[in-house]
Structure 1
Amino acid sequence: MSRPADLGMFDLTGKTAVVTGASRGIGAGIAEALATAGADIIGVSANIAASTIGETVRARGRRFQGIQADFGDRGQVLEVGAAIADLSPDILVNNAGTIERAPAAEHPLDAWDRVLAVNLSSQFALTQLIAGPMLERGAGKVIFTASLLSFQGGINVPGYTAAKSGVAGLTKALSNEWAPRGVNVNAIAPGYIATDNTRALREDADRSEAILARIPAGRWGRADDLAGAAVFLASTASDYVDGAILPVDGGWLGR
């Protein structure tokens, strides 16, 4: 008979987690979940000063450091990444993102460029820097926020789809190189979560109805629906999980 799982494998006490895009929505939800599991949090966001996530983390008895950065600015990303690398965090959650909606035939190129910069290029640049100390010590967890559009094409979001498809590929590419060196690289693919990024869809009665009709769970997701997946991928419970893209979508992809 197999031995029951040790729930202590989900304990993040003594760990430090970097969460980008931590000021609200999915990022704030993940930061709160990791803090509840015991991790201290470094929250990075363009709007971190206006966020209450620091108060939430401290209320869980954990330390919080907020760092402001525009993920569309390569120089800021490199500066922040180097500073955080010096702190040698144990966990990196690449969640910062943006979205621009316009039909592909009229999609502004500057919108395309910014979405790719924020959602993909900055993720790679930041990860290179912060994962350096992880690779040196042979331990660490890197978690990307992918999307349903890592698997599907979407409508009116060509830049976002291209970026999130790239995130899925990057997750696998880094995992291939870093799993032998003790660093787990995986991704969470949220479904339709009720955040600012999906506000336009939720306020469009026809689109909202069509989306809900396809979700077997019958509701929009919440940021806290991602808590379990985030803690799992950040903890020793996932030490033999590499290159995975875990959907948290209420069953959307299985439909």
Structure 2
Amino acid sequence: MNIHNILEDQVILCVNKTFENLKEVKPAWFTCDCEQCRLDTAAYVLNRLPPKYIVSGRGLTHVLSQNDSQTTIDIDALIMEGVKKILKNARPFHAGESKDKIKNAGPVFNFPFFIGKVCNGLTFEPVSNAVITLSKDGIPCEMIDYTWQNPTTLTHHTKGKYTFWVKPEPAQSPDETKCFHFKIEITAEGFEKNIYTFDVPVTSAQYAVYEPSTVDSVKIENLYLFEADND
């Protein structure tokens, strides 16, 4: 089965066109033209539009036959809104080098996403000022590329949620299963430190995976912080 949101193609095309036009006009707020800012803008737009899925050529023909001028207007408006917000709040690594997608020469262990949430142990509300570090063998884990941060700092926008994606590690051969031991350390001003450990069995594959998939993820149990006793 092959399912596709046809709006992805349209949005990416429009985002690239908008960036090219802005490069010519050069408004004062237009400060970056990197690939990451373009991708962030496309994601901003797509997250605010209802998707249009197709599963066949007939579905594509049906979608293209519709004259949906309102969708086009919405896309253009969201792109300009997104560009301004993305450039105003650019990620600290947005101007860095391109993602390192060089495929490993041999078999590797591909790690799943780690997804979790940090809450106040008394109110159960999300904590917004926590610093979270993921370690393995006593060393902070290297992430799959520079767009993933470790340690990562929570803000009120993340609502206590965090994600990690560890860089693939070499394996001796495909279909080799190994158990990896991880540690999560959480610190936040005014709270006691929380340390959580967990094991993840991983079976090696022939090639490294660099395309994200939320299907392959490990949900970490909610972790709680309690206010420090200053007495």
- TM-score in same-fold range (> 0.5): no
Larger Rg over CA atoms: 2
Q: Which has the higher helix share?
A: 1
TM-score by length of 2: 0.25
> TM-score of the superposition, structure 1-length normalised?
0.24
